[in-house]
Structure 1
Amino acid sequence: MLHTPSGGARVGTAARDAGQGSGPMSIGAVLQALREEFPEVTVSKIRFLEAEGLVEPARTPAGYRKFHAEDVERLSHVLRMQRDHYLPLKVIREQLEGAADGTCPSAVPPSSAEPEVSHESAEPEGRQAAQQAAGPPAAVRLGREELLAAVSAAPEELAAWEEYGLLRADAEGGYGHGELAVARLVAELGRHGLEARHLRALKLCAERQLDLAEQTVASLRRHPDARTRELAQGTVQELAGLSARLYAAFVQAAPGTSGD
């Protein structure tokens, strides 16, 4: 059994829920435990992380997976490091292996590919929450080599992503947090054999959903009241988030994507 690192990762709701259970959990139960903190996680994602050696659940004689609380905590740690720190799986795996060897690595290993993080942990909780809701600073940019290192991709892969319009550099040749998040997901899908040309349809679908959201708030955009115009932007973001959740729900509800 692999060991979850003791330092750097907080115990999330999934680990607490798993700890309250009476015994081993099926992959479906693990999915439900993770969903509160990671609403877009899927059974396929859990299986992929297992295939990558990041979690090793026990197996019944019939071959069904049985996860224990430490497995759920480990999965939470991996998903949190991807979501919060944009770490590629290779770096996370090395970190976990180091923890198993007793070297106790930090939660976020030093890396030139990692964006700067503001050291303002002593701020009031309300202000921190507001900053987190607003997202990472738009001024943070990664260079081409830094982006490639962050997602463990080759230059020709990035060239293909840009050729098919999946992401693009800004006028100064840099990439922001949004592009980094896209590159990370595209790289993971690529490891499953999906190329940039296959993912172009997803990009077009996202653009159509954004256009639909903009049409919905068009009258608010033209309103003379400044607060109403600000509401329009918030509504667009909310609609975009709901669309993403609906897409994930459609995928999860499709035959063959739930249960073991």
Structure 2
Amino acid sequence: MLQTPSGGAGNGAAATGTGLMSIGAVLNVLREEFPEVTISKIRFLETEGLIEPQRTPSGYRKFSAGDVERLGHVLRMQRDHYLPLKVIREHLAAMERGEAVQLPALSRPGDGEAAREPAADGPTAARVGRAQLLAAAGVDEAELTEWESYGLLAPVEGGMYDAEAVTVAGLITELGRFGIEPRHLRAMKAAADREAGLVDQVVAPLRRHRNPQTRAHAEARTKELAALTAGLHAALVRSALGVRLP
């Protein structure tokens, strides 16, 4: 059974007299569990066929409680299992057919061969094996090898991949649907490496500090700077393309 985001379809003014909700009301409900979700994200998931809200004669979207529940399930699969949209779509279709669906699990410290000692200044990130990455991304060995040849993905310690590799693989797959090949993405990888280097340069003094609390603060500062640089990058791309999104 799908889990409804905490807040539910009947959250105050969220629902109309018909029991349907506007996209803004849906956003308010989802943000209780997914604070980073945006209207653009909801619209994107609709264009990808993951939800099909009703439309008024004027063209406005109206979401049912089932739509909100489905959205929550999609966002949860992305957040908790790092699944690309292609795999999420297949899972939803299987569930609609009444089939039992088992989501791929990520290996975390303490789970057999993936166990790692936590670093002194922060928690150890989740790790996935090569077979897990292939299954989660829905690609074959040849495709993954090609991505690695262009530097888009690379295993880390012990031949494992960090959890973000699943997200990267999913996005590469989605871009491929539009004819954007891995070789075209080398410039993006180079830009990302430069941005990461800039963030590392800023937080390096914190990581080297003798005070453990200061070193721990470096992790939070890294995440904050990563979000800012990613946001700036997205805004610059939209500006260059002349695209305006809410």
Pair 1:173–1:117, CA change in 2 (3 A): closer
- Give the aligned partner of residue 58 of structure 1: 54
Pair 1:14–1:162, CA change in 2 (3 A): farther
State the SS of the aligned residue for 2:128: coil
- Give the aligned partner of residue 124 of structure 1: none
- Residue 179 of structure 2 is aligned with which of 193, 199, 202? 193
Write out per-residue CA displacement over residues 116-141 of structure 1, whole angstroms, 9 at most, x where no aligned residue: 4789xxxxxxxxxxxxxx77754x33
Contact (CA 8 Å) 2:128, 2:163: kept in 1 or not?
A: yes
- Give the aligned partner of residue 73 of structure 2: 77
- Residue 36 of structure 2 is aligned with which of 29, 39, 63? 39
Pair 1:46–1:229, CA change in 2 (3 A): closer
Using CA pairs below 8 Å that are at least 6 residues apart, which structure has the higher relative contact order? 1
Give me the CA root mean square deviation.
3.7
- 1:150 shift after superposition: 0.8
TM-score norm. by structure 1 comes to 0.67
Letter in 2 for 1:115: L
Contact (CA 8 Å) 2:26, 2:63: kept in 1 or not?
A: yes
- Residue 160 of structure 1 is aligned with which of 131, 146, 149? 146
Q: Aligned pairs, how many? A: 230
Contact (CA 8 Å) 2:24, 2:39: kept in 1 or not?
A: no
Write out per-residue CA displacement over residues 146-197 of structure 1, whole angstroms, 9 at most, x where no aligned residue: 3122111233432332222221123643323122222123222333433323
State the SS of the aligned residue for 2:15: coil
Letter in 2 for 1:176: D
- 1:33 shift after superposition: 5.1
- Give the aligned partner of residue 106 of structure 2: 115
Pair 1:201–1:35, CA change in 2 (3 A): farther
1: distance between equivalents of 2:4 and 2:25?
Answer: 21
2:132 paired with 1:176: no
Pair 1:175–1:205, CA change in 2 (3 A): same
2: distance between equivalents of 1:170 and 1:158?
Answer: 15
Write out per-residue CA displacement over residues 185-218 of structure 1, whole angstroms, 9 at most, x where no aligned residue: 3222333433323433333333222222222234
Pair 1:220–1:135, CA change in 2 (3 A): closer
2: distance between equivalents of 1:194 and 1:250?
Answer: 19
TM-score norm. by structure 2 comes to 0.70
2: distance between equivalents of 1:18 and 1:166?
Answer: 45
Structure 2: segments with no counterpart, 5+ residues = 111-121
